[in-house]
């Protein structure tokens, strides 16, 4: 997920991002330029370029944290897994109010929320299934 | 409180993800604090925008997000520019009709959306470029409708091989929007200087205009004569830039209206005596025919000087009335000329 999201940034996003500046300082501008040249003929939908990487970023974090917190209580797990989605949505709010640079976008905010929402739903389904299984076992 | 190994790992993971997010933050871009009531003053104005540096300390690239609102209405509300408004509306009508023809399977000519804006500084070229970007978005030509404003310094680097990289970076930031190149003729110095990388910037730009023809619209702007020389210098430019829009200098009446707009917007008033002096002064300045006269920018600067003079005049006075706080007098004006 992170590789796909990172690839989208590297290949299709404008080079005004901090990561390109850092890469430029590291002397990678030309390499990145050649890489981007490979994809220059491809036109992706706007949501793929601008919102999907955010959704993949949140999904990767949620799944990784869920794995790390597998032994923790449900509350703790939800708290930890929700951290990055909350930061993501918070950053959109801060952008909207002008506290952070960038363009606030409802689609981006939705992209941060959606994977977490799907995660919560799937967890809820698992819980219900476990309750049913336990009842059947008894 | 002691952290377990897993908690510590989770914290490290969270920090790593936050760092990733920081890496994807846009640098060198500022929010456009555009005000709907601010129409003509947006011309050539960068006071609400950040000038970002890319690769060079002298580089100027201004990125404007598309603002909400009806671009057609904003175009109508601009002071003066009658012919420009007609030309932009005519272009929009043409594109709309061709799209309808295309939808019905009828033949459509190959459309070029790139434009050449000719006119003196301060005649509304940048403002109209921003509106055109939003109209193009409305017509479905562009997905985002933002504008990236730059000039030679934003495209040309100091060292060999760097110009293409620099130009590509600016073009990348303009994809799905409009790249506005002010004083584009400066890319080709008069007389054709050796070792000038302007030509490299033009070649890169032309290539990108071809490669990204569905995602990039370029508007080039500058003085009419120089722009003609610039476009004639390269067949690639000639074939791509076929639509010209001329921005005439503002008349004295229009400049007075622009000055009044600033007065009203900033909650000042101007007496009839001062107004007469203002009109006479603007007529005189226009008659002088100075090429570097800033048109709308001149009116804005004059207003700014006036309110500074008013502040100086009233300094030290106590218990100011509302009339005193708002009125721009003849003396304020005359000291500002």
Say how many C-beta atoms besides its own lie within 10 A of residue B252's C-beta: 17
Q: How would residue A41 be classed by pLDDT, with cut points 50, 70 and 90?
A: low
A 62-81 → B contacts, CB under 8 A:
64-65, 68-69, 71-72, 80
More confident residue, A14 or B76: B76
Q: What are phi and psi of A68, to 5 degrees?
A: -65, -35
Q: What are phi and psi of B327, to 5 degrees?
A: -80, 130
For A94-119, letters b (16+ CB in 10 Å) and e give ebbeeebebbbbeebbbbbbbbbeeb
Residues B254-273: what's their mean pLDDT?
Answer: 90
Task: Give the distance between the most distant pair of CA atoms in chain A.
Answer: 65
B175 touches chain A (CB under 8 A): yes
Distance from CA of B103 to the nearest CA of A (A): 21
* DSSP β-bridge partners for residue B218: B179
pLDDT in tens, B13-71: 888 888 888 887 766 433 333 333 333 333 333 333 333 433 334 457 888 877 777 89
CA dihedral A48, A50, A54, A57 (to 10 degrees): 60
- Tell me the helix, strand and coil percentages in chain B, rounded to 5: 55, 10, 35
What percent of chain B has pLDDT above 90?
Answer: 41
* DSSP β-bridge partners for residue B62: B149
pLDDT in tens, B34-50: 333 333 333 333 333 33
CA angle B25, B31, B35 (to 5 degrees): 170
Distance from CA of B69 to the nearest CA of A (A): 16
Task: Select from A30, A41, A91 the Cβ nearest to the Cβ of B165.
Answer: A30
Instruction: Please give the interface size between A and B, counted as residue pairs whose CB atoms are below 8 Å apart.
Output: 102
For chain B, the average pLDDT equals 83
Kind plus residue range of the DSSP H or E element containing B199: helix B198-211
Closest CA to A10 of B59, A29, B17, B60: A29
pLDDT in tens, B166-210: 999 999 999 999 999 999 999 987 765 556 788 889 999 999 998
pLDDT in tens, B214-232: 889 999 999 999 999 899 8
SS3 B26: strand
CB contact under 8 A, A100 and B25: yes
Task: Select from A33, A69, A84 the Cβ nearest to the Cβ of B6.
Answer: A69
Q: In angstroms, rounded to a whole number, what is the distance separating the alpha carbons of residues B159 and A30? A: 14
Residues of A in contact with B55 (CB under 8 A): 24
Which residues does B217 contact at the CB level (< 8 Å), separation at least 6?
B113, B114, B115, B133, B136, B141, B142, B177, B178, B179
What percent of chain B has pLDDT above 70?
Answer: 88
8 Å CB contact between B114 and B241: yes
8 Å CB contact between B9 and A68: yes
Which residues does B167 contact at the CB level (< 8 Å), separation at least 6?
B155, B156, B200, B201, B204, B205, B208
Q: In angstroms, rounded to a whole number, what is the distance separating the alpha carbons of residues B173 and B59? A: 15
Task: State the pLDDT at residue B27.
Answer: 60
Which residues does B200 contact at the CB level (< 8 Å), separation at least 6?
B156, B163, B164, B167
8 Å CB contact between A69 and A123: no
Task: Select from B17, B29, B52 the Cβ nearest to the Cβ of A57.
Answer: B17
Which residues does A82 contact at the CB level (< 8 Å), separation at least 6?
A116
CB contact under 8 A, B18 and A87: yes
Distance from CA of B210 to the nearest CA of A (A): 10
Which residues does B143 contact at the CB level (< 8 Å), separation at least 6?
A46, B137, B176, B215
Kind plus residue range of the DSSP H or E element containing B222: strand B216-222
Is the complex ipTM higher than 0.90? no
Whether the pLDDT of residue B85 is over 90: the answer is yes
B 244-263 → A contacts, CB under 8 A:
none
User: CA of A95: which chain B residue's CA is closest?
Assistant: B31
Q: How would residue B112 be classed by pLDDT, with cut points 50, 70 and 90?
A: confident
Task: State the pLDDT at residue B257.
Answer: 92
Q: In angstroms, rounded to a whole number, what is the distance separating the alpha carbons of residues B171 and B155? A: 9
* DSSP β-bridge partners for residue B229: none
Task: State the pLDDT at residue B168.
Answer: 92
More confident residue, A40 or B268: B268
Whether the pLDDT of residue B291 is over 90: the answer is no
Task: Select from B17, B174, B212 the Cβ nearest to the Cβ of A84.
Answer: B17
Task: State the pLDDT at residue B17.
Answer: 86
CB contact under 8 A, A17 and B18: no
Q: How would residue A16 be classed by pLDDT, with cut points 50, 70 and 90?
A: low
């Amino acid at each position: 997920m992170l590789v796909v999201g990172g690839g989208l940034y590297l290949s299709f996003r404008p080079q005004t991002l901090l990561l390109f500046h850092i890469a430029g300082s590291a002397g990678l501008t030309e390499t990145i330029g050649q890489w981007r040249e490979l994809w220059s003929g491809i036109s992706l939908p706007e949501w793929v370029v601008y919102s999907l990487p955010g959704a993949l970023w949140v999904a990767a974090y949620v799944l990784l944290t869920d794995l790390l917190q597998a032994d923790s209580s449900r509350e703790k797990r939800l708290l930890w897994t929700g951290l990055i989605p909350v930061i993501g949505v918070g950053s959109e709010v801060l952008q909207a109010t002008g506290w952070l640079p960038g363009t606030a976008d409802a689609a981006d905010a939705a992209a941060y929320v959606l994977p977490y929402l799907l995660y919560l739903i799937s967890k809820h389904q698992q819980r219900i299934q476990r309750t049913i299984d336990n009842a059947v076992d008894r | 409180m002691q952290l377990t190994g897993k908690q510590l790992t989770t914290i490290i993971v969270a920090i790593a993800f936050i760092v990733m997010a920081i890496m994807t933050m846009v640098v060198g871009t500022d929010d456009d604090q555009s005000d709907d009531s601010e129409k003509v003053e947006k011309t050539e104005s960068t006071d609400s925008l950040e000038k970002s540096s890319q690769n060079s300390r002298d580089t100027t690239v201004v990125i404007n997000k598309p603002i909400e609102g009806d671009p057609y209405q904003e175009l109508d509300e601009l002071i003066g520019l009658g012919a420009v408004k007609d030309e932009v509306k005519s272009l929009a009508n043409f594109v709309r009709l061709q799209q309808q023809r295309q939808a019905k399977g009828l033949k459509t000519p190959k459309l070029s959306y790139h434009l050449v804006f000719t006119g003196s500084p301060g005649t509304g070229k940048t403002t109209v470029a921003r509106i055109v970007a939003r109209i193009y978005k409305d017509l479905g030509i562009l997905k985002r409708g933002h504008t990236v404003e730059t000039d030679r310094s934003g495209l040309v680097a100091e060292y060999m091989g760097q110009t293409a990289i620099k130009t590509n970076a600016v073009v990348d930031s303009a994809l799905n929007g409009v790249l506005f190149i002010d004083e584009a003729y400066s890319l080709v110095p008069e007389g054709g200087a050796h070792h000038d990388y302007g030509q490299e910037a033009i070649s890169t730009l032309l290539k990108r205009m071809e490669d990204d023809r569905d995602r990039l619209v370029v508007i080039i702007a500058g003085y009419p004569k120089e722009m003609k020389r610039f476009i004639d210098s390269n067949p690639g430019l000639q074939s791509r830039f076929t639509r010209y829009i001329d921005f005439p200098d503002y008349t004295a009446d229009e400049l007075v209206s622009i000055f009044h707009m600033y007065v009203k917007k900033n909650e000042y008033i101007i007496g009839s005596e001062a107004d007469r002096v203002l009109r006479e002064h603007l007529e005189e300045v226009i008659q002088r025919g100075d090429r570097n006269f800033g048109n709308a920018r001149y009116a804005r600067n004059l207003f700014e000087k006036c309110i500074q003079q008013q502040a100086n005049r009233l300094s030290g006075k106590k218990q100011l009335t509302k009339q005193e706080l708002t009125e721009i007098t003849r003396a304020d004006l005359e000291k500002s000329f």
